[in-house]
Amino acid sequence: MHILVTNDDGVTAPGLLALAQEMRTLGRVTVLAPDRNWSASGHVKTMERPLRVRETKLADGTPALTSDGAPSDCVALALLGVVKEPVDLVVSGINPNANLGHDVTYSGTVTAAMEAVIAGVSGIAFSLDSPEKHGELDYGPAARMAAKVAARAVKEGWPGNVVLNVNIPYMKDGEFKGVMITRQGLRVYRDELVARQDPRGRNYYWIGGEVPTGVNEQGTDFGALAAGYVSVTPLQLDLTAYNAIDTLQQWKWD
Ligand code: MN
C-alpha cells in the first residue's frame, strides 16, 4: 500500500511527523505537505498563481515534498502526477486540535482528505482533541491509534465517496475506551468581533473570541471524545439538504 501523508499545519509540524512514522508500519509513505500553516483555510484550489514543489526532509531525516499550495492543492498535485507512483490512501494530520461538527468545512486537515475522495482515492483525516492549555503535545498515542484505525478501515473497506473524519482524545496508550462511529455534532462558536485602529486611523478587524465548545450529545463526534472514545465520522461531499427539497419544490415561480 502506498500512502500519501499531508496536513494543514505545514511540513515541519510534529503531528505530521508522528503520523508519517506510524503510517510506515502499514505501507510505503510519501509526504507532500504545505510549506506553511494553512489551518482553517477550507477547501482551496489555487488557480491564479503557479504552484511550486520542492524536496525537503522531515525531522527524522526522511525525504518529503513540500509545496506553497494549500493542503487540498498538495493532494491534487500528488494525485495528478507530481508523485509518480499510484497512491492508495491519503491521510491528513495529525491536526493539533479536534475537527468537530461544522469545523469540517473550515478545516484544511479534513478538506485535504476530501480532495483525495474527489480524485477517487480513499481519504482519512486525523485530529487530536488536545486540552485547551498544554505544553508540547505528545502525538505518539494518537499516531499509534491513527495507524490502528487506518489499518482496520482499509481491511474492512468503506464507500469510495466517503471521507473518514477521525478525532482522537488526548490520552496515553491503553486509556482509550475504544472507537465509536459517530455523526457530526454541533459546535458552539464563541466568535467575537475585535475592532481596532491602525496607526493611520483606519479600522481593522480580527475574528476573535474564546475557543469553540460543543454540544455533548450521544452518538456525535463531540460526545464520543467527551466519553474517551476515538470518533470516526463518515462524511460525504454531497451537502444537499434532501429534507428541504420538497418544501422548496412548492415555491411558486411566475
Ligand atoms: Mn491545523
Q: Record the pTM.
A: 0.96
**38 CA from centroid of ligand 1 (Å):** 7
Q: Which residues surround ligand 1, an ion (CB under 5 A)?
A: 8-9, 39, 95
Fold of 2-187+215-249: Stationary-phase Survival Protein Sure Homolog; Chain: A, (3.40.1210)
**10 CA from centroid of ligand 1 (Å):** 8
The CA–CA distances, whole Å, from 88 to 117, 127, 197, 202, 228 equal 11, 21, 50, 51, 30
Is the pLDDT at 132 greater than 90, yes or no? no
Distance from C-alpha of 116 to C-alpha of 83, rounded to nearest angstrom = 13
Query: Grid coordinates in use for 180?
Result: 465509536
Is the pLDDT at 21 greater than 90, yes or no? yes
Is the pLDDT at 134 greater than 90, yes or no? no
Average pLDDT score over residue span 166-184? 98
Query: Grid coordinates in use for 70?
Result: 494549500
Is the pLDDT at 133 greater than 90, yes or no? no
pLDDT confidence of residue 81: 97
Are 65 and 55 in contact by the 8 Å Cβ rule? The answer is: yes
Burial status of residue 120 (CB atoms within 10 A of its CB: 0-12, 13-18, 19 or more): exposed
**39 CA from centroid of ligand 1 (Å):** 4
The CA–CA distances, whole Å, from 219 to 153, 185, 202, 233, 236 equal 19, 8, 47, 10, 18
Burial state string for 167-197 with b = 16 or more CB within 10 A and e = fewer than 16: bbbbbeeeebeebbebebbebebeeeeeeee
**Ranges 71-80, 143-152, 212-221: which has the least confidence:** 212-221
Is the pLDDT at 60 greater than 90, yes or no? yes
Q: How far from the centroid of its chain's Cα atoms is residue 21's Cα?
A: 18
Average pLDDT score over residue span 11-22? 98
pLDDT, one tens digit per residue, over 191-202 is 999 999 999 999
